[in-house]
Amino acid sequence: MTSPLADAGGAIADWVRSVAADRGDLRFDDLHIDVVDGRFARKRQWVSGAIECLAAATEIRDAHKLPFAVAAGLSLQSGASPLGLNFSDADGLQAQLADQAPSLYLFAPPVEALLDDPECREVGDLVPLPVPQGTRRFLREWMDARDHEFRRSFWLLAL
């Protein structure tokens, strides 16, 4: 089934084509989902919106046979100490979101550097979500020396 967000003239298609054409992946050019569709402006729609936008971007990538992994990054609440994976479903993920809307990214191969990041932990099916087949889930947690907090993000990576 084709996603309405995968429309050839839509924001996601334009972004995918632009990033792929001018290698915006090297600059980590992203697309915030609240820009894609007004339905995703409210925080309570961010998890489902990130999944829907990831699916559309993956569909566009596949249709154009582009050699990129598609990712959705969701910023999570930070803390003075590590919080780890403190959720186990979409509602729990929703409750942990920080105040910035999720973004889409393209990553060129090899993506092993991303997957082997010591601050990243693959969480697999510990957080079941209705994501495109083959999508991997990661939690990234690191100490931000600038403000002495442990930052966290949750990643969906469609290879």
| pLDDT > 90 fraction of the chain, expressed in percent and rounded | 83
pLDDT tens figures, 28-65: 999 999 999 999 999 999 999 999 999 999 999 999 99
* pLDDT of the residue at 144: 87
User: Taking 80 as the threshold, does the pLDDT of residue 1 lie above it?
Assistant: no
* pLDDT of the residue at 18: 95
Cβ-based neighbour number of residue 95 at 10 Å: 13
Q: Name the residue among 152, 47, 57 with its Cα closest to residue 102.
A: 47
* pLDDT of the residue at 9: 67
pLDDT tens figures, 110-124: 887 677 788 999 999
Please state, in angstroms and rounded to a whole number, the distance separating the CA atoms of residues 20 and 17.
5
* pLDDT of the residue at 8: 64
User: Taking 90 as the threshold, does the pLDDT of residue 87 lie above it?
Assistant: yes
Alpha-carbon torsion, ordered 58, 59, 63, 69, to 10 deg: 10
Helix axes 46-63, 11-22, angle to 10 degrees: 60
Please state, in angstroms and rounded to a whole number, the distance separating the CA atoms of residues 118 and 140.
9
Domain residue limits, the chain: 4-158
For the entire predicted model, the pTM comes to 0.93
